[in-house]
Amino acid sequence: MDFSRFKPVHEGRILLLALVAGLPGVATSMFILWYGDYAPKLQWTLTVVIVGAWWGFAAAVRERVASPLRTLANLLEAMREGDYSIRGRTGDHEDSLGDVMAQVNEMGATLRAQRLGALEATTLLRKVMEEIDVAIFAFDGDRKLKLVNRAGERLLAQPAERIMNAEAGTLGLAEFLEGDETQNIQRTFPSGSGRWGIHRAMFREGGLPHQLLVVTDLTRALREEELQAWQRLVRVLGHELNNSLAPIKSIAGSLEMLVKRDPLPSDWRDDTQRGLSIIAMRSEGLSRFLGSYARLAKLPRPVLAPVDVGTWIHQVTGLEQRIPPLIQEGPEMTIQGDRDQLDQLLINLLRNAVEASLETHGGVTVSWARLGALLEVRIQDEGPGLSNTANLFVPFFTTKPGGSGIGLVLCRGIAEAHGGSLDLKNRADRQGCEARLILPA
């Protein structure tokens, strides 16, 4: 607001009001002075003094009122221009004008602190954007580039000065401003090809809509995960193969030395048969191991169909006769799932619970409940509990004699394929273990 155009009117009115306030006294003095019996010299002298004092005091009142307003106008103008260093003189705190000046000064200090905080936050944000290893682009409503960080420059292999205000189509990014907000694509950019994660979001600046585009290089992360997966695979396969091949090699060497002896010992046939039997047993175990690994790696995708939860749990628990599980009835629910895979999942969990409870002559309890849009199935046993929870879902890790170590891994794979989860923990209320299965309802 331009305060200058109001000053003459306002100050003129103040001057006029001050003159009107003194007019009765001045008029009375002039009447007495000029109609009384006074010398002309005295009349003119007092007239000049009275009129001069009248006008002077009126002008002083005008200035006394207008000067603080001009100061306030200047302070507000400075704040509007972003200069918060100017302060007004507050004077006496019991004065209302001093209170106004003090409040304006406080407002200036507050705005200055807020502006400093905003500048620091903006500087920090820009620094983070420059250093982060994720390409960030911001486009306005006309799809023109308004912001890009260093990772974005490297992705497009062009400096920001050259691509700023360029249209998204010319940068090869127009297709990502439409469709799904989150995408995973295989794409070749000027900086190279690879697997990329695309995420788009909307924001407003100056009241106008803008689009924020984040491009993440997934190739490196995928390669690291792939390398770790291969390392785990080689470690597991190497361990199991060595466990089988070492005794086979040792027995084969012993048999070779045995048949080379001349003459052959009288019991050479028995030793040879025992050795070959051990070799066959270890070979069969190795074959079972490889078959189990192939089974784990080839878990088919679930074929979804309606499954009544109560019927499913009652039918599966009815198969276990060693320790008939106690069923705690839950609500009537229907889920979408692959009945064959869900049966396999529940059978494995029940078998583990029963085998654990057999050691302590305990029982097994199965219950289910609704958690919002989720189904929760709990299987609780009264066995010795879990001694090593860190390796429960590591393939081929087992604490049971003769166990394959893939049962829990398969169970978790089935649960995750259905969009759910599986976790095991020791019970808090008593000895034993609790398996908690979550599935979408």
**Per-residue confidence in pLDDT tens, the chain, 441 aa:** 444 444 457 778 888 888 888 888 888 888 888 888 888 888 888 889 988 988 988 888 888 888 888 888 888 888 888 777 777 777 665 677 777 777 888 888 888 888 888 778 777 777 777 778 888 899 998 889 988 888 888 888 888 888 899 998 888 888 888 888 888 888 888 877 778 888 898 888 878 888 999 988 877 776 676 667 666 666 666 666 676 677 777 778 887 787 777 777 777 777 788 878 877 877 776 776 666 566 656 667 888 999 999 999 999 888 887 888 999 999 999 999 999 889 888 988 998 899 889 989 999 999 999 998 899 999 999 999 887 655 565 554 455 544 445 667 778 888 988 999 998 899 988 899 999 999 998
For residues 292 and 316, membership in a common domain is answered with no
DSSP character at residue 301: P
Phi–psi pair at 118, nearest 5 degrees: -65, -40
Choosing from 81, 100, 122, the residue where a domain stops is 81
Q: Which residue range forms the structural domain that includes residue 276? A: 222-297
**Domain-located, residue 119:** no
Choosing from 56, 81, 106, the residue where a domain stops is 81
DSSP character at residue 4: G
Q: What Å distances lie between residue 174 and 208, 224, 374, CA to CA? A: 19, 30, 39
For residues 381 and 422, membership in a common domain is answered with yes
Dihedral over alpha carbons 406, 408, 410, 414 (to 10 degrees): 180
For residues 285 and 310, membership in a common domain is answered with no
**Domain-located, residue 346:** yes
**Domain-located, residue 22:** yes
**Domain-located, residue 43:** yes
Choosing from 195, 217, 239, the residue where a domain stops is 217
DSSP character at residue 132: S
**Domain-located, residue 106:** no
Contacts of 17 (CB under 8 A, 6+ apart): none
How many whole angstroms separate alpha carbon 418 and alpha carbon 301?
9
**Domain-located, residue 181:** yes
Q: What Å distances lie between residue 235 and 25, 231, 349, 395, 421, CA to CA? A: 111, 6, 27, 11, 26
From its phi and psi, is residue 192 left (phi > 0), alpha (psi between -120 and 50) or beta? left
For residues 203 and 271, membership in a common domain is answered with no
Give pTM, 2 decimals.
0.42
Count the alpha carbons within 13 Å of 41 in the hemisphere toward its beta carbon: 0
For residues 425 and 375, membership in a common domain is answered with yes
Number of domains in the chain: 4
For residues 175 and 293, membership in a common domain is answered with no
How many whole angstroms separate alpha carbon 326 and alpha carbon 351?
14
